[in-house]
């Protein structure tokens, strides 16, 4: 990543791009299955943070990986781990699904 801007995306921008179908990669949700059952984004891939090392092979390295958790803490750990494992296009979704959901549930675009 060349800059912090490439490494992070605001929940508002992520929600806008998600709603419009403009995300050019994989949405990786690193929460636990119990959290996923309550709420998740259609099309997202669930790999809980603790299972990520053993499931890296499930992610395509040539695609952008948008990393998401509940509030943005676990996703930072996951994003840094992916970068350290050689993934080049990793974007942390700031403030997690809780913040993204506020923008997705709003009527404005």
* Catalytic site positions: 69
Yes or no: say if 50 and 74 are a contact pair by the CB < 8 Å rule: no
Region class of 67: left (phi > 0), else alpha (psi between -120 and 50), else beta: beta
Q: Looking up tokens 């923008």, which residue turns up?
A: 103
């Amino acid at each position: 990543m060349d800059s912090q801007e490439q490494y992070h995306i605001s929940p508002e921008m992520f929600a806008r791009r998600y709603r419009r179908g403009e995300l050019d990669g994989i949405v990786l949700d690193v929460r636990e299955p119990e959290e996923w059952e309550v709420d998740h984004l259609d099309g997202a891939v669930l790999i809980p943070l603790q299972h990520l090392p053993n499931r890296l092979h499930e992610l395509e390295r040539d695609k952008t990986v948008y990393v998401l958790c509940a509030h943005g803490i676990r996703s930072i750990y996951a994003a840094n781990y992916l970068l350290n494992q050689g993934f080049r296009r990793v974007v942390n979704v700031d403030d997690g699904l809780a913040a993204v959901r506020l923008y997705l549930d709003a009527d404005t675009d």
